[in-house]
Amino acid sequence: MMRTLILATLSLLLFPSLSAWSPADEPGEMRSIGLEELKISSVEQKVGAPRINAGYTGSPLSIGKVPFPRGIGSHAPSRLAFELGGLAERFTVSVGVDDGKKDGLGSVEFIVLGDGKELARSGVMRGGDSPKKFDLDIMGVRVLTLSATDAGDGYGSDHADWAEPTIFGRNLPIPIRISDAEWNRLDDAQLQSGYVVTQIAPGIWRLRFGSPEKFVPTECLRSAPIRMEGLEQMTAAPRLPWKMSDINAYTTGRGTVFELPMNSGEQVYGMGNNIEIFNQTNRRSVVRASDRPEELQNDAHAAVPFFVSNKGYGVFVDSARYVSFYAGNVALAKNSPTVETQTENRIETDVAALYRNREVADKVMVIDVPGAVEGADIYIFSGPTMREAIQRYNLFSGGGALPPLWGLGVAYRSAGKFTQEKAVRLAKQFREDKMPCDMWGFEPGWHTKAYSCSYVWDETRFPDPAAMVRDLNTLGYHVNLWEHAFVNPLAPFYEKMLPWSGNYMVWGGLVPDFMMTEARDIYMDYHNRVLIDIGIEGFKIDECDNQPLSPTPWSFPECTRFPSGMDGEQMHAMFGQLTQMLFDREFSKRNHRTYNQVRATHGLASPLPFVVYSDAYKHENYIRAIGKSGFCGTLWTPELRDAASSEDMIRRMQSVVFSALAQVDCWYMDNPPWFNINRKANNEGQRHEDADENTRIVRDLMNLRMSLVPYLYSAFMDYHLRGVPPFRAVVTDYPNDPETWNLDLEYLVGPSLLVAPVTAGQNARDVYLPEGEWFDFWTGEKFAGKQKIRIEVPLETIPVFVKSGTLLPLAKPLQHIPGDACFEINVRVYGDGATPFVLYEDDGETFDYAQGKQNEILLKWQNDAGSGSVTKSGSWQTSPRYEIKEWKQWK
């Protein structure tokens, strides 16, 4: 019985589409399934794509003149992986070189692997050889891989057949069939175009031109496997707005170029989170990790070579180079205008007018990947909608990050020069003042030396760090430490790190090569023993971007050499994310969820529980960055530091409340800004005349944040399981409404909130409400959508609108979120309340939910009455997380 239960949980996790399969079922009869009936979870094939029930050339499968009605025809070298989740017991297959090629050439060696371990090997087989049959025990194997090698003599004519591949078992997965038409269409595209298209997952294709570089994001930055379960639940018939074969690709001496079709009215977004630019159409944008995210060259902390189009597709460039996108602003000579289309020759006398003649009639998206001189890969994500294309990118990255529940509370970072005693005193004062707070961060002063870092506690300020962490924990805080990964000679592991570092220093410290296991182990062994073991639960990874625009940059040069073979340009792209991965891995190992900050990130970052922040500080840009983060699989905090006035402070705090990390960062101030507001007053210890009033207003805002925690947790679950960004620009959900195309200062939060923050100096603002009906969160007033409204913005409210049909759970605010927190919920019903809402109940701090320790509570409103019922009951049996107190309707 026990085994049945384990299998049941496993199969539900891996094959959520198994609806007919109930955990109560006893093991059944031995059944069998053709492996070709299952989805191939990953395909690596150098030439072409695998075919189902046909040899590589398309003729029926046949080995040594023996015909086989079913199986998989591939071309060596190839590796086809199938996720079996330990559900199959036996595997049989006949292998050999396909007869279709007729020249009798071809030599292949067939290898079957179970979870990476070799189970069988055919020896070299040549064209014409009789088939060889394997009969293998695959009990418990989670991933079965069929590998065909070129047998060491090149891959010409190496058509490798896996004939009648069959798995046997009592609890086999239900097959998910890929249509032959789907494969064949891909095949035609690649034959015509000189590049190879491989389907990676439903609606996701890799387009390979030539041979990609070694250090690319998919090789170096993957922190979680593709979330197949999420992809399988999506629209069944993904499509692209153009034919794969319309893409053009070539290499030059300086790199690889891709030209993609672009529709004249098409709008494109993303290419990282530069916080000044929103819509990327008709621009050139260089993707480059940088500390200057407000520059118009497109520099960004989140430098992510992914863009998404309102026509419903997305493209990820698998490169760590300074990729440029020319999004419809350059003209191909082959599309050149004709003599007839020339207009009169006007002689202009100012430069702006002279340069105006740049209308591009036939648009093209040019992707320039410098450095990739032998080729590169791009990944194409279909929609059919813009939001689904983003979801597919996030699921391809491994699904979105799921913070612990406490990560959704408020974070405070105390001054760099704070002592242990001061921190505990202020933390206590927050509790007395009833200022909600869950995370306490320490800035550089905890090190004996920062810039570069020693990672050793400064005993003069922190005589007993372990005791301090315990004290803060007792008060309900989770402790976070600032650092960067440039290793000072005072660091106890400096000598050990020396051979595993780049050949240039930064601030007198080593730059570890985290591509090397040795560097990772040295760094984390120390962090584990000295910091994580005493209870540190998060890190702020600073200075990992670069200063490409500075004449006096502090960081390492692009020509730096690293022991792994990576160069400085690639390391700039990856350094921040490689560091995040170290901590992510460690906390996962400890079955402990964490939530952190980072200043540079790259592609496939969605699963990493890190929020990007900046030293830039224009409030308007911080607002734009929140919505924009949803285009690139990252999160953003518009942290509050100091302010120009009480009004500025309150307005900034309002944006903070509606962001992924509600952080107040006082790294250069002893007191929170509601006491002193600005740096100067703070340093002089002057209490602002509005301090009491400001404290009250900020407290109310923090409480608002706390009341949103259950709603946000569900929004993050949508990110995690389905790839829906919890914070996203309005255009993401309304891509066909031109009014949303440049709407950068309002954004969506979770399934149904629209937030339009206000900056200091505004007493009214325009808000565009997309189609549908919307309710003012504060007054309940109803507005028709598809219109721009102008609203008054009293200082204490931030404009928030709720989509009609919503059930909005609001919790009674807690001061912080302990492990056994129970949220008392009032459900607000908007309009007919027809859209059910799912609350997720689990321990909120480990990964046990993934093993089934989670319940889903479905909120529903029907016949003027609300109900909250446990619809999916996992094994979370502890006291309830939510208590539903009241339902109230707005019509």
Q: How far apart (Å, rounded) are the C-alpha atoms in residues 162 and 388?
A: 34
> Would you list the DSSP string of 71-107?
EEEEESSEEEEEE-TT---EEEEEEEEBGGG-S---E
Q: Considering the complex, what minimum distance in angstroms separates the CB of residue 513 from ligand GAL?
A: 22
Nearer to ligand GAL (CB atom), residue 150 or residue 665: 665
Q: Considering the complex, what minimum distance in angstroms separates the CB of residue 545 from ligand GAL?
A: 9
> Would you list the DSSP string of 794-840?
-TT---EEEETT-EEEEEPPPSS--TT--EEEEEEEETT--S-EEEE
Q: Considering the complex, what minimum distance in angstroms separates the CB of residue 360 from ligand GAL?
A: 39
Q: Considering the complex, what minimum distance in angstroms separates the CB of residue 606 from ligand GAL?
A: 23
Nearer to ligand GAL (CB atom), residue 299 or residue 377: 299
Residue 276 CB partners (closer than 8 Å, separation 6+): 293, 294, 295, 296, 621, 624
Q: Considering the complex, what minimum distance in angstroms separates the CB of residue 611 from ligand GAL?
A: 12
424, 415, 428, 540: which is closest to 815 by C-alpha? 428
Q: How far apart (Å, rounded) are the C-alpha atoms in residues 99 and 109?
A: 16
- How many beta carbons lie within 10 A of that of residue 566, not counting itself? 25
524, 519, 662, 523: which is closest to 588 by C-alpha? 524
Query: Both tokens of residue 846?
Result: 């480990």
Nearer to ligand GAL (CB atom), residue 513 or residue 665: 665
Q: How far apart (Å, rounded) are the C-alpha atoms in residues 310 and 278?
A: 13
Nearer to ligand GAL (CB atom), residue 562 or residue 667: 667
Nearer to ligand GAL (CB atom), residue 204 or residue 656: 656
Query: Both tokens of residue 577?
Result: 């994310």
Nearer to ligand GAL (CB atom), residue 149 or residue 663: 663
Q: Considering the complex, what minimum distance in angstroms separates the CB of residue 451 from ligand GAL?
A: 7
Nearer to ligand GAL (CB atom), residue 196 or residue 426: 426
Q: Considering the complex, what minimum distance in angstroms separates the CB of residue 600 from ligand GAL?
A: 11
- How many beta carbons lie within 10 A of that of residue 315, not counting itself? 25
Nearer to ligand GAL (CB atom), residue 443 or residue 842: 443
DSSP code of 26? P
Q: In whole angstroms, what separates CA 388 from the centre of its chain?
A: 14
Q: Considering the complex, what minimum distance in angstroms separates the CB of residue 40 from ligand GAL?
A: 44
Nearer to ligand GAL (CB atom), residue 542 or residue 648: 542
Nearer to ligand GAL (CB atom), residue 74 or residue 637: 637
With 0-12 CB in 10 A as exposed, 13-18 as middle and 19+ as buried, what is 795? middle
Nearer to ligand GAL (CB atom), residue 594 or residue 663: 663
Q: How far apart (Å, rounded) are the C-alpha atoms in residues 378 and 366?
A: 12
Nearer to ligand GAL (CB atom), residue 533 or residue 615: 615
Nearer to ligand GAL (CB atom), residue 95 or residue 481: 481
Q: What is the 3-state secondary structure (H, E, C) of 663-705?
A: EEECCCCCCCHHHHCCHHHHHCCCCCCCHHHHHHHHHHHHHHH
Q: How far apart (Å, rounded) are the C-alpha atoms in residues 716 and 401?
A: 7
Nearer to ligand GAL (CB atom), residue 293 or residue 409: 293
Query: Both tokens of residue 386?
Result: 């813009």
Nearer to ligand GAL (CB atom), residue 540 or residue 803: 540
Nearer to ligand GAL (CB atom), residue 147 or residue 454: 454
- The size of the chain, in residues, is 891
Yes or no: say if 287 and 322 are a contact pair by the CB < 8 Å rule: yes
Q: Considering the complex, what minimum distance in angstroms separates the CB of residue 599 from ligand GAL?
A: 6
Q: Considering the complex, what minimum distance in angstroms separates the CB of residue 640 from ligand GAL?
A: 12
Nearer to ligand GAL (CB atom), residue 395 or residue 511: 511
Q: Considering the complex, what minimum distance in angstroms separates the CB of residue 422 from ligand GAL?
A: 17
Q: In whole angstroms, what separates CA 740 from the centre of its chain?
A: 23
540, 408, 434, 397: which is closest to 480 by C-alpha? 540
Q: How far apart (Å, rounded) are the C-alpha atoms in residues 428 and 480?
A: 17
Residue 432 CB partners (closer than 8 Å, separation 6+): none
Q: Considering the complex, what minimum distance in angstroms separates the CB of residue 604 from ligand GAL?
A: 24
Residue 115 CB partners (closer than 8 Å, separation 6+): 141, 142, 143
Cα–Cα distances (Å) from 42 to 49, 82, 91, 499, in that order, read 11, 7, 19, 36
Q: Considering the complex, what minimum distance in angstroms separates the CB of residue 482 from ligand GAL?
A: 5
Nearer to ligand GAL (CB atom), residue 572 or residue 599: 599
- How many beta carbons lie within 10 A of that of residue 100, not counting itself? 20
Q: Considering the complex, what minimum distance in angstroms separates the CB of residue 466 from ligand GAL?
A: 23
Residue 72 phi/psi, 5° resolution?
-125, 130
Q: Considering the complex, what minimum distance in angstroms separates the CB of residue 301 from ligand GAL?
A: 9
Q: Considering the complex, what minimum distance in angstroms separates the CB of residue 327 from ligand GAL?
A: 30
Q: How far apart (Å, rounded) are the C-alpha atoms in residues 142 and 349?
A: 71
Q: Considering the complex, what minimum distance in angstroms separates the CB of residue 539 from ligand GAL?
A: 12
Give the binding site for ligand GAL (CB under 6 A): 416, 443-444, 482, 542-543, 599, 615, 665, 667
Cα–Cα distances (Å) from 711 to 750, 794, 821, in that order, read 7, 25, 15
Yes or no: say if 600 and 576 are a contact pair by the CB < 8 Å rule: yes
> Would you list the DSSP string of 577-634?
HHHHHHHHHHHHHTT----EEES-B-TT-TTS-EEE--S---HHHHHHHHHHHTTTT-
Q: Considering the complex, what minimum distance in angstroms separates the CB of residue 418 from ligand GAL?
A: 12
369, 399, 412: which is closest to 726 by C-alpha? 399
Residues of the chain by 3-state class (helix, strand, coil), percent to 5? 25, 30, 45
